[in-house]
Amino acid sequence: MSDKKVRVRFAPSPTGGLHLGGVRTVLFNYLFAKKHKGDFVLRIEDTDQSRYVKGAEEYILECLEWCGLTPDEGPVAGGHYAPYRQSERKSIYREYAERLVGQGHAYYAFDTPEELERNRREIPNFQYGHAYRDTLRNSLSMPLHQVQQLIDAGEPHVIRIKMPDNEHIHFEDMIRGHVSFDTSQSDDKVLLKADGMPTYHLAVVVDDYLMKITHAFRGEEWLPSAPVHLLLWEYLGWKADMPQWAHLPLILKPDGHGKLSKRDGARLGFPVYAMNWFDEKTGDLTPGFRELGFLPEAFLNLLVMLGWNDGTDNEIFTLGELIEKFSIERVNKAGAKFDFEKAKWFNAEWIKRSEGGRLKPDVLKVLREKGVQVKDDDYLLTVINLVKERCMLLPDFYQQSSYFFEQPKEYDLNAVKPKWTDAKTAFFISFTGLLANTEDVLAVDLEQAFKTLAEENGIKAGELMLPFRIMLVGGKYGPHVFDIAALLGKKETISRIEKALAEFTR
């Protein structure tokens, strides 16, 4: 690698919520930048005003913040190459488009949208390119004075690149290796629109150059645009400064057939966006991983594993470890199938491995939203540490921990009533008596006392454990029952046994 400072960019167009593939692109850029002690730039590519969606930029910023992938430069952070929103850089681009016209690599085109539409309708496989450009209204087909007249008269026009006919161009992609294109496949893309705004093709090249971007990692769907970009780098005389490109593999539907889309998520019942996205126009809410209860650490971990591995079987990585281990060469060429069950497994692993203190704010939020009162922080921490390995998604903490804060509202009576006996009632009455006469005790001692008493009463302890759990929890879930009782304390345990006995024997 050259000794230039590494500078990468994430360059989203603010057109809606962020697909998980978009966040993976951010992540790969970020990891590469941090690994090489470089800069991670956020650039908002909003030159297509017709696709601009209100709130989308804020969404992107919030998403990066949630994931902890903070840009070093960008519309909020600022930076030496500001502004970082292309709409605010509008005046920069014309000069380059005109330069290309002057060199004969681009031309003015005066065709109206209606004319183009008619061509598309009437000519099969119409492309504005070498096959037809001479028959259309542009500065290649018209005499110079007429072109000048039209321009002087303020006739709306665009600037198009003149794609060479039958040339082969190629580049080395960091993931895909040698890639080559036949230029006659590509149409003469618009570079500057009639409103003076650049298109993506011109803006991305000009800005990558001006912002001194050294590596550009983007989704595979941009590969067909690469020949246009390559030519622009060459024509503008910047080829030596062209970033190294890597086109990231697609994230595929679970069955491997085609790109994972928003619709697949709706159809199969899992999120495809990073965070909830509300479309003001349609009123549709597209669910996100965040709101479903994914930890950002887990989200990043599952994303990085969609197409990358460190060469071992290890699957769990912190961001710090990823920065150390990541290499773009280890990203697969082939698309990665998305598996929601596996995604949840990552989350469960992360919940299990996280410190109680890390999880506390999230769990508090879950409990508060459900109206559970939490008064004691230390108590909450103990509860989290006790139940976290049973939670896959953050909202699971409600079921797994709310009974530590409030008595069960309902009991799974089917689990106890059919096998209930007077002897069991007698056992629990004696057990409360025993508890009342002891200090709060450790779970192990409680368990010992419970078992000894069961034996004395001639009942198998095993038959009493489930009823005891239902008394304390309400249902057949939760950690070891004596851990629960010990944490609730003797007073609360006695109260729950008494309340439940009344229900069980009714």
Q: Which residue has the tokens 């990552």?
A: 346
The answer to whether residue 21 forms part of the interface with ligand GLU (CB under 6 A) is no
CB of 12 to ligand GLU, least distance (A): 5
Is beta strand 177-182 parallel, antiparallel or unpaired with respect to 168-173?
A: antiparallel
Task: List Cβ<8 Å contacts ≥24 apart for 162-170.
Answer: 162/104, 162/105, 162/106, 162/107, 162/133, 162/188, 163/129, 163/130, 163/187, 163/188, 163/189, 163/227, 163/228, 163/231, 164/231, 165/130, 169/227, 169/230, 169/231
Q: Which is nearer to ligand GLU, 198 or 467 (CB)?
A: 198
- Token pair listed for 271: 């999120």
Q: Which of 42, 29, 28, 3 has the alpha carbon at shortest distance from 211? A: 42
Instruction: Given the residues 262, 337, 451, 499, select the one marked as catalytic.
Output: 262
The answer to whether residue 199 forms part of the interface with ligand GLU (CB under 6 A) is no
Tell me which of 16, 18, 20, 45 binds ligand GLU, using CB under 6 A. 45
Q: Which is nearer to ligand GLU, 18 or 158 (CB)?
A: 18
Separation CA 25–CA 299 (nearest Å): 13
Q: Identify whether 262 is a catalytic site residue.
A: yes
Separation CA 99–CA 438 (nearest Å): 90
Separation CA 455–CA 439 (nearest Å): 22
CB of 203 to ligand GLU, least distance (A): 9
The answer to whether residue 11 forms part of the interface with ligand GLU (CB under 6 A) is yes
Tell me which of 33, 69, 192, 204 binds ligand GLU, using CB under 6 A. 204
The answer to whether residue 46 forms part of the interface with ligand GLU (CB under 6 A) is no
The answer to whether residue 478 forms part of the interface with ligand GLU (CB under 6 A) is no
CB of 13 to ligand GLU, least distance (A): 4
Q: Which is nearer to ligand GLU, 45 or 447 (CB)?
A: 45
- Token pair listed for 224: 């067909």
The answer to whether residue 469 forms part of the interface with ligand GLU (CB under 6 A) is no
Q: Which is nearer to ligand GLU, 17 or 474 (CB)?
A: 17
The answer to whether residue 222 forms part of the interface with ligand GLU (CB under 6 A) is yes
Q: Which is nearer to ligand GLU, 200 or 235 (CB)?
A: 200
| Cβ neighbours of residue 178 closer than 8 Å, sequence gap 6 or more | 170, 172
CB of 48 to ligand GLU, least distance (A): 9
Q: Which is nearer to ligand GLU, 15 or 505 (CB)?
A: 15
The answer to whether residue 41 forms part of the interface with ligand GLU (CB under 6 A) is no
Tell me which of 59, 84, 96, 200 binds ligand GLU, using CB under 6 A. 200
The answer to whether residue 175 forms part of the interface with ligand GLU (CB under 6 A) is no
The answer to whether residue 218 forms part of the interface with ligand GLU (CB under 6 A) is yes
CB of 360 to ligand GLU, least distance (A): 37
The answer to whether residue 12 forms part of the interface with ligand GLU (CB under 6 A) is yes
Q: Which of 284, 268, 287, 265 has the alpha carbon at shortest distance from 276? A: 287
Q: Identify the bridge partners of residue 273 per DSSP, sorted by sequence position.
A: 19, 288
Cβ–Cβ under 8 Å, residues 208 and 9:
yes
CB of 73 to ligand GLU, least distance (A): 16
CB of 318 to ligand GLU, least distance (A): 27
204 burial type by CB count under 10 A (0-12 exposed, 13-18 middle, 19+ buried): buried
CB of 43 to ligand GLU, least distance (A): 8
Number of residues that bind ligand GLU (CB under 6 A): 8
Over 96-148, what HEC string results?
HHHHHHHHCCEEEECCCHHHHHHHHHHCCCCCCCCCCHHHCCECCCCCHHHHH
The answer to whether residue 245 forms part of the interface with ligand GLU (CB under 6 A) is no
Q: Which is nearer to ligand GLU, 45 or 187 (CB)?
A: 45
CB of 242 to ligand GLU, least distance (A): 13
CA distances to 100, 115, 211, 386 from 234, rounded to whole Å, are 11, 32, 17, 61
Separation CA 53–CA 120 (nearest Å): 28
Q: Which of 41, 37, 47, 45 has the alpha carbon at shortest distance from 13? A: 45
Q: Which is nearer to ligand GLU, 13 or 402 (CB)?
A: 13
Cis peptide before 83 (omega within 30 of 0): yes
Q: Which is nearer to ligand GLU, 11 or 501 (CB)?
A: 11
The answer to whether residue 198 forms part of the interface with ligand GLU (CB under 6 A) is no
Tell me which of 6, 7, 8, 13 binds ligand GLU, using CB under 6 A. 13
Q: Which of 289, 287, 327 has the alpha carbon at shortest distance from 307? A: 327
Could you tell me the strand order of the sheet in which 190-192 lies?
A: 106-109, 158-161, 190-192
The answer to whether residue 106 forms part of the interface with ligand GLU (CB under 6 A) is no
The answer to whether residue 396 forms part of the interface with ligand GLU (CB under 6 A) is no
The answer to whether residue 75 forms part of the interface with ligand GLU (CB under 6 A) is no
Task: List interacting residues with ligand GLU (CB under 6 A).
Answer: 11-13, 45, 200, 204, 218, 222
Q: Which residues are identified as catalytic?
A: 262
